[in-house]
Amino acid sequence: MIQPAPARPAGLRRKAEALAAALPPLLADARHLAMTVQMGEHGRRRAGIGDEFWQFRPAHAGDEARAIDWRRSARADQHFVREKEWHAAQSVHLWVDDARSMEFSGDRNRTTKADRARLLALAVSVLLIRAGERVGLADPVAPPRPGEVQLVRLAQTLTSPAGDADYGAPESRAMLTGSRAVFISDFLGDPAPVETALTLAADRGVQGALLQILDPVEEAFPFDGRTIFESMTGAIRHETRRAGDLRERYRARLAERKDRLATLARRVGWQYSIHHTDRPAQEALLWLYRALERVRR
């Protein structure tokens, strides 16, 4: 298995901005626009709508003290944030799988799934923030915020060391009601946590896109003869003398997993697509751009 050194935040951001440069500023939810005030800013449906109360939600790590509604918090044992409708509607949450399986590459000269996922996540963040959106992660570590400083925060977070698990599970508990989301992963682990996260997101009116990233080797299964299969952490290991005999069963299981993800996405109103690491990153970014345009309330 190939495990290159982690990308540096500044370098990742330059690559992401270069990838995003060919597309116009992305408006995550064009339905909320009645007019464009100026480039990079949103119009609102009518004057004052952005100041209307949306909901109270429990405060998360990273929320600013000024966002807390102290009067509401005084009536409970925890702090609450008073959300406004426009902030919720214009927020996009990202979940980028940081599990060890994402570090795989079937070719020394080909990018890992993790590097491609981070690049795409930051590239779409550049587009969103350029268009005036609030972008953050799906967990409380980096809540949605606007502006260039947020791009730096996201780059630093996305380039942090990988997790210890072989396969990742998405987080959706911190997502704002009525917001948008993007999940990027190989989705090769237990599908149950994915189904739980998407169901919870859908219950909150969150819509978005699932992008499955796979290495071509994971699609083709070009193995024959004696082969030792080992997970990136070494926790899972299987040895066989006739790897070629497993090819059809493996491909059938992979096709079943893809169909399960596609069906789940349709059921909750999300978009789903597959991207292979031997294909240009521009293709996947363009799909994300169009997918987020199609996601409307």
Specify the pLDDT at position 244: 57
Has this prediction a pTM greater than 0.75? no
Specify the pLDDT at position 194: 94
Specify the pLDDT at position 167: 87
**pLDDT, block means (10 residues), the chain with 297 residues:** 55 73 39 26 34 62 68 72 60 91 87 90 83 84 84 82 80 83 94 93 92 91 60 59 66 91 95 95 84 67
Whole-number Å distance between alpha carbons of 81 and 156: 26
The CA distances from residue 114 to 48, 167, 168, 186, 276, in Å, are 42, 12, 12, 9, 12
Specify the pLDDT at position 292: 83
Specify the pLDDT at position 25: 39
The CA distances from residue 14 to 9, 116, 155, in Å, are 9, 14, 10
Q: Which long-range contacts does 39-44 make (Cβ < 8 Å, 24+ apart)?
A: 40/130, 40/131, 40/132, 41/132, 42/90, 42/131, 42/132, 44/86
pLDDT digits (tens, 9 = 90+) for 221-250: 665 656 555 555 656 666 566 655 567 787
Specify the pLDDT at position 30: 25
Which helix (DSSP H) or strand (DSSP E) does residue 58 occupy?
A: strand 53-58
